[in-house]
Structure 1
Amino acid sequence: MNYEFAPFQFSTFNFQLKKCFPLLLLTLLSCSPPAADHSTLTVLFTGDVLLDRGVRHMAEHKGIDYIFDDVTPLFRQADAVVANLECPLTDTVSPVNKKYIFRADARWAKDLRKAGITHAAMANNHTNDQGRRGLQTTAQHLTEAGIEPLGYGNNLGQQMTPAEIEKDGIKVAIFNATTLIIENWCRIDNKPGIAQPTEDELLEAIKDYKRHHSNTHIVVVLHWGVEFQPYPSIRQRALARKLSEAGVAAVVGHHPHVLQPIDTIGRMPVYYSIGNFVFDQKNPKAKESMIAALTFNSDGTLKADSISITITQGKPLLKNKHKTL
């Protein structure tokens, strides 16, 4: 049997290859390994927010929106924003006997949420300015507005229960407490109040949580330190070391009204004081502030950043107007 072979036509083969190449390339790409997961969860933390005195005047005439309008776009880029609420949000007028007494209107809770705030730290020396009833209604108004209160509860167990945030498998727990002795206020364990744990109670609550949530990043927000001091105390530094040893991922502090250094203990960033945020103090140093920005990555790492703020007539303004997360 005789076979007759047609001569090989390279031009025909080349044409067919060109036709098939896009399909071949698509097949190869579909077989390549999936792209690495680069999910992140970003939480912003602000210093003291006071909606009374001069800031009250601004809020009543220009609105809460105006006070926050420079930072709201940044807030909305974050997954959560934790602000230290330095006043009760209540229509209850029942002031305790102390030197500085604050109160803000309950209706402003909704405006704070609209500005981008998702969590309010209540464990400080002013949310109790209108007594326990004022404290209770503050937590109620925040919750109704969609803002989660931190460091508040009917007993120490509730007060030391952290807020939990989760995104794409990244988990963060935020504790809030104060180490201060508060003027004309006593801790009553089975009454509504703020988190005022002893150092041992704070550390034990964190260690216990860590035992049951080993894959969760823990952030501790502390109202601590000495007002207008530029540096943390020896006691604060010692507590920060213990928190690092307990497995805390980051510490964010306020109360001094001025900025204090950012330190790193092991891999744990410590913002000893991020200063004021919405406040009408005239001290020039009290007008310099920062937002602590913590970005948790899906590979388990943490990026700690600070965003510089200048406070003008009580209003926080970004120093870098083009700042993004």
Structure 2
Amino acid sequence: MLKKFYYLLFIGIIGCDSRDDMAIVFGGDVMLDRGVKLKADQRGMDYLLNDISHVFTEADYGVVNLECPIGTEPTPLTKKYVFLGNPESLTPLRSAGITHAIMANNHAYDHGRRVMTGTAKLLLENNIIPIGYGISQQDACTPVILEKGDIKVALFASVTLGLEAWMYLEDEPGMCQSTISDLVSSIKVYKENNPNSLIIVSLHWGLEYQRRPTSIQRREARALVSAGADAIIGHHPHVVQSYENIDGHPVFYSVGNLLFDNQNPITHDGILVKLVINADRKIRPEIIPYHAEDCKPYIMPNPEKSKFIIELQKRSELL
């Protein structure tokens, strides 16, 4: 038990990082339509982000899951939920420290391939690097490289869910749809060719509104770690799920929503995960919990933060 949770000493504590360390902050689902768009139109996107932005801007990299395409010409597919964000939202996101946006999810394609391709272009124009998108499956599934000094991190991203109203075309633009088996193979090859690089895997997976990962996910996480993954960050369930340490590697199955308008109260708590990597390529994870009110996330103060972390730890210990 102590081995499994040794890194809890760092959870929720913002440590004193060396200037040579690399700090990557991961946030959850960012959906820029519906209630979020309405609130941004009323108060500004800067207002929605101003209580959490310092966590991202103080890190070297900020990564979120972009849970919508971006554009001005809707071409909606026939799906239950279809989102479209305003391009004007991207400048405030970048100013808030978001450097990378994951597109490997079940909403990046809500308005088809043309708008999805336009989304990647708009992100790049705003100095935000798309992850898990490409002009082909091979391109989409190629890891994005993060570097600082001698520290190198390869970030893989994939959506492993079944996708509504979407046709998989290997040689057309799309989001990475690597299976866990595909990822295991890709990680092994990458690790063999880049033995000094760390590997972080971002997955859009799991069951919505469930606070525990499935037994299948836990087996998949072990397979990824065995292949060479150094950390795993998940999203899609819209809630914070239990986490664990697998052979010294942190696995956060779901970090919850970041910017969303879901009315279910259990979706209003989320976590930012800060991974601090030192020159010896050791990862120190930190959890920064927040609570959202009317689409705006607020960093939890004590004692709410301590209570949240203790409850999350207890649930995680039951895995």
Match of 2:295 in 1: 314
8 Å CA contact 1:92–1:133 kept in 2: the answer is no
User: 3-state SS of the aligned residue for 1:225?
Assistant: coil
2:122 pairs with 1:141: yes
Correspondence for 1:70 among 38, 51, 54: 51
Match of 1:113 in 2: 94
Match of 1:275 in 2: 256
CA distance in 2, matches of 1:102, 1:38: 39
CA distance in 1, matches of 2:39, 2:52: 17
8 Å CA contact 1:38–1:297 kept in 2: the answer is no
2:20 pairs with 1:39: yes
TM-score of the superposition, structure 1-length normalised? 0.86
User: 3-state SS of the aligned residue for 1:107?
Assistant: helix
Judging changes above 3 Å, is the alpha-carbon distance between structure 1 residues 231 and 114 closer, same or farther for their aligned structure 2 residues?
Answer: same
CA distance in 2, matches of 1:299, 1:197: 30
Match of 1:285 in 2: 266
Q: Partner letter of residue 108 of structure 1?
A: S
CA distance in 1, matches of 2:98, 2:221: 26
Match of 1:238 in 2: 219
Match of 2:152 in 1: 171
TM-score of the superposition, structure 2-length normalised? 0.87
CA distance in 2, matches of 1:44, 1:155: 28
CA distance in 1, matches of 2:32, 2:81: 13
* Deviation at residue 213 of structure 1 after TM alignment: 1.0
* Deviation at residue 300 of structure 1 after TM alignment: 2.1
* Deviation at residue 198 of structure 1 after TM alignment: 2.2
- Structure 2 unmatched ranges of 5 or more: 1-17, 306-319
Correspondence for 1:304 among 250, 275, 285: 285
Deviating above 3 A after TM superposition, structure 1's stretches of 4 or more consecutive aligned residues are none
2:170 pairs with 1:157: no
CA distance in 1, matches of 2:301, 2:132: 32
Query: Which of these two proteins has the greater Rg computed from alpha carbons?
Result: 1
CA distance in 2, matches of 1:289, 1:248: 24
Match of 1:22 in 2: none
Give the number of equivalent residue pairs: 286
Q: Partner letter of residue 174 of structure 2?
A: G
CA distance in 2, matches of 1:308, 1:199: 28
Match of 1:217 in 2: 198
- Structure 1 unmatched ranges of 5 or more: 1-36
Match of 1:4 in 2: none
Judging changes above 3 Å, is the alpha-carbon distance between structure 1 residues 108 and 38 closer, same or farther for their aligned structure 2 residues?
Answer: closer
Identity fraction in percent: 42
CA distance in 1, matches of 2:301, 2:248: 27
8 Å CA contact 1:165–1:171 kept in 2: the answer is yes
8 Å CA contact 1:38–1:298 kept in 2: the answer is no
CA distance in 1, matches of 2:220, 2:173: 26
Q: Partner letter of residue 100 of structure 1?
A: Y
Match of 2:234 in 1: 253
1:276-303 Cα offsets, whole Å, 9 max, x none, are 1101111111001000110001122110
8 Å CA contact 1:119–1:148 kept in 2: the answer is yes
Higher relative contact order (CA 8 A, sep 6+): 2
Correspondence for 2:209 among 221, 228, 251: 228
User: 3-state SS of the aligned residue for 2:240?
Assistant: coil
8 Å CA contact 2:183–2:224 kept in 1: the answer is no
